[in-house]
């Protein structure tokens, strides 16, 4: 394992004022999102939308890395340059989603296990040779009656650690993503407790499997009440509970935490991160973003209406707002 390379890449991904763009929607998810804004989905429209984003001037000041899907890492920019090379020539690290999706967990109705470990080492080698320097694996944890089960926590933690170990052996920084979903009527304390459980299990599995934490990143949810919970908490409470949960349950030798947005509004995702970074405490890790929808939802709608330059401006503006949130320097009036 090249620990120096991994540590350097991980630190680069959470460099001051920067975060990650998650543009790794699977073909199915990206197609649904395109169809939802009236665009007929194909490899070509998925490529056209994404290459327009990657051609945005100046986004590299706020975006350190872009997570790609397998189809995209093999596609080219309009000038014929392979997408991963176009990203790295701007100083943006290409990343790759390497899981093959969350599938039904046997004998646990309504729960999921993320698959993709078989053949992962060989796939990582190929992605590295194509320019990828980091990877993502997303586990999905659902809150509900008697959920998550111990089985769901245990198998997903194990898979996350196995994935992380395989990636590191092949030179890719693993982003470890145990996502506790926002769907449900649970309150924020339940989200806190479940998040603590999956984090403890994941880092224990990482310890057993020898994952080198200074060369890895964590991509967690924030602590938020379920979408249909009547008792929503304030932005300040989200920030405080999230920092509290992470400080207690995430090892401090990890270089960075890059949040997912998970369906939060653009502004909530930015405001929450800003509040965490504005606290009067020095956090043990960088607190940054690896947002998909919170960076791209409006850029996609704008692109679909045919305004391609404007779509780039919308993406750039959201990236800059989140870049400011890295230091607590975001303000509503800058929106
Ligand atoms: P969202 O920010 O839209 O949740 O996407 C981030 C991501 O990569 C989920 O796996």
Q: What is the DSSP string of 130-197?
A: TT--EEEEEEEE--BTTBS-HHHHHHHHHHHHHHHHHHHHTTPEEEEEEEE---SS--HHHHHHHHHH
228, two tokens:
């249909």
Q: Residue 335 domain-assigned? A: no
Ligand 1 pocket mutation pick from 218, 260, 300 by most atoms within 8 angstroms of CB = 260
Strand partners, 176: 137, 218
Alpha-carbon separation of residue 103 from 68, 74, 140 (angstroms): 21, 25, 10
Is the CB–ligand 1 distance for residue 181 below 6 Å?
no
Q: Residue 47 domain-assigned? A: yes
Tell me what pLDDT residue 276 has: 98
d(CA 258, CA 93): 15
* Span from the CA of 177 to the centroid of ligand 1 (angstroms): 9
CATH number at residue 100: 3.20.20.70
Below-70 pLDDT ranges, the chain: none
- Those residues whose C-beta lies under 8 Å from the C-beta of residue 5, and which sit 6 or more positions away, are 171, 215
Q: Residue 128 domain-assigned? A: yes
pTM, two decimals, is: 0.97
Tell me what pLDDT residue 330 has: 98
Q: Residue 177 domain-assigned? A: yes
Q: Residue 195 domain-assigned? A: yes
**Residue located via tokens 């947002």:** 291
Q: Residue 282 domain-assigned? A: yes
For the stretch 84-136, pLDDT in tens is 999 999 999 999 999 999 999 999 999 999 999 999 999 999 999 999 999 99
Q: Residue 334 domain-assigned? A: no
* Span from the CA of 260 to the centroid of ligand 1 (angstroms): 5
Torsion over CA: 107, 109, 112, 116 (sign): positive
Among candidate residues 239, 293, 228, the one with its CA nearest the CA of residue 265: 293
Is the CB–ligand 1 distance for residue 202 below 6 Å?
no
Among candidate residues 282, 250, 272, the one with its CA nearest the CA of residue 330: 272
* Span from the CA of 106 to the centroid of ligand 1 (angstroms): 25
* Span from the CA of 129 to the centroid of ligand 1 (angstroms): 25
Q: Any idea which residues carry the catalytic annotation? A: 177, 219
Residue nearest to atom 1 of ligand 1 (CA): 292
Is the CB–ligand 1 distance for residue 293 below 6 Å?
yes
Strand partners, 286: 256
Cα-flanking dihedrals φ and ψ of residue 290, to 5°? -140, 65
Expressed as residue numbers, the domain containing 140 is: 3-329
- Give the number of other Cβ atoms within 10 Å of residue 61's Cβ: 14
Q: In total, how many domains does the chain have?
A: 1
Q: Residue 169 domain-assigned? A: yes
**DSSP E strands, the chain:** 19-22, 63-68, 93-97, 102-104, 112-114, 134-141, 173-180, 217-218, 256-259, 286-291
Q: What is the DSSP letter of 121?
A: H
Is the CB–ligand 1 distance for residue 294 below 6 Å?
yes
Among candidate residues 68, 267, 322, 276, the one with its CA nearest the CA of residue 175: 68
Q: Is 265 left (phi over 0), alpha (psi -120 to 50) or beta?
A: beta
């Amino acid at each position: 394992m090249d620990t120096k390379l991994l540590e350097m890449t991980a630190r680069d991904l959470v460099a001051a004022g920067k975060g990650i763009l998650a543009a790794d929607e699977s073909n199915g998810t990206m197609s649904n999102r395109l169809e939802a804004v009236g665009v007929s989905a194909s490899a070509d429209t998925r490529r056209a939308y994404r290459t327009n984003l990657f051609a945005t001037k100046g986004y590299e000041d706020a975006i350190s890395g872009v997570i790609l899907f397998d189809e995209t890492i093999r596609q080219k920019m309009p000038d014929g340059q392979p997408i991963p090379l176009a990203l790295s020539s701007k100083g943006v690290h290409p990343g790759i989603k390497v899981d093959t999706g969350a599938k039904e967990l046997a004998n646990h109705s309504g729960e999921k296990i993320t698959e993709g470990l078989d053949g992962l080492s060989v796939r990582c080698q190929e992605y590295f040779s194509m320019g990828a320097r980091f990877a993502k694996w997303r586990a999905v944890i659902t809150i509900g009656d008697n959920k998550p089960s111990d089985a769901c926590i245990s198998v997903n933690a194990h898979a996350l650690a196995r994935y992380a170990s395989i990636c590191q052996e092949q030179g890719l920084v693993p982003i470890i993503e145990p996502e506790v979903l926002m769907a449900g009527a649970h309150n924020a304390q339940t989200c806190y407790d479940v998040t603590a459980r999956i984090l403890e299990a994941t880092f224990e599995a990482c310890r057993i499997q020898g994952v080198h934490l200074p060369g890895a990143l964590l991509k967690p949810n924030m602590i938020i009440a379920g979408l249909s919970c009547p008792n929503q908490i304030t932005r300040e409470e989200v920030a405080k509970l999230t920092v509290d949960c992470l400080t207690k349950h995430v090892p401090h030798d990890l270089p960075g935490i890059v949040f997912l947005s998970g369906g939060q509004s653009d502004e909530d995702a930015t405001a929450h991160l800003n509040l965490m970074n504005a606290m009067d405490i020095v956090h043990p890790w960088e607190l940054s973003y690896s947002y998909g929808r919170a960076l791209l939802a409006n850029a996609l709608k704008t692109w679909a209406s045919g305004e391609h330059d404007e779509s780039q401006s919308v993406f750039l503006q959201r990236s800059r707002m989140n870049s400011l949130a890295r230091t607590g320097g975001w303000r509503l009036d800058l929106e």
